[in-house]
Amino acid sequence: MYSTPNELFTKHLLPAYPRGWIGTVKGDLVTAVAQSHETALTMSPIKDADQRETIRQQIIRMRDVGLEEMQSDQGLVFSRLDEAIGKIDHWYDRARIDALIEGDPTPDEIGISDVFIRTVEIAAILGSHLIELDPSIEWCPVLPYWESPLFHSKSGTLVNVYHWSIKRFTDYGIDDGLIGKCQACIGVLSGK
């Protein structure tokens, strides 16, 4: 297991990004960036409505694939997104995370990183759960699609759940419960 999220990002996730991408794993919970009149549409750098919808649908597909894999491949049973997130917290312990990282192709090998796929799926599940909890939250489409943050229109706040899932797979965030993080986020966004 890697000590920091940026170490995991550089070694296992960066190859999936467009060539020349420079980025790091962002802060833990939220970033206030907008005026209260902003919407996810006005905050998105993607101005074409069809492209924004395509990105949103890709995120939903990744959520659905992740949920299906959890049930079929891992044998996890759940009926709600909060239950699925609880299962993710329990399933991905140090040993399973280490095994996932060790089984990943090296940057020289051809193949998509399993760590990348799992972090994208988990982020899509987390984001969907937050949207269930607060209807004023919606996806703010960006490219690459997995970097799309959630936007809370009432507070003008962006939440990058993809970076939460990266952190969960490192020493830095292994003990962070994702359900607790969702609850804390909703508390921050609602001012509680």
Per-residue pLDDT of the chain (192 residues; tens, 9 = 90+): 888 888 888 888 877 887 776 666 665 555 555 555 677 777 788 999 999 999 999 999 999 999 999 999 899 999 999 999 999 999 999 999 999 999 887 655 666 789 999 999 999 999 999 999 999 999 999 999 999 999 998 888 889 999 999 999 999 888 889 999 999 999 988 886
Inside any domain, residue 135: yes
Q: What is the pLDDT of residue 25?
A: 65
Inside any domain, residue 183: yes
Q: What is the pLDDT of residue 42?
A: 77
Inside any domain, residue 23: no
Q: Which long-range contacts (CB under 8 A, 24 or more apart) does 182-188 make?
A: 182/82, 182/85, 182/126, 182/129, 182/130, 182/133, 184/29, 185/29, 185/30, 185/130, 185/159, 186/130, 186/133, 186/134, 188/29, 188/30, 188/157
Q: What is the pLDDT of residue 155?
A: 84
Q: What is the pLDDT of residue 78?
A: 94
Q: What is the pLDDT of residue 50?
A: 95
Inside any domain, residue 129: yes
Q: What is the pLDDT of residue 8?
A: 86
Inside any domain, residue 146: yes
Q: What is the pLDDT of residue 24?
A: 62
Q: What is the pLDDT of residue 158?
A: 87
Inside any domain, residue 12: yes
Q: What is the pLDDT of residue 156?
A: 83
Q: How many domains does the chain have?
A: 1
Inside any domain, residue 174: yes
pTM for this prediction: 0.89
Residue 102, domain extent: 5-16+31-190
Inside any domain, residue 43: yes
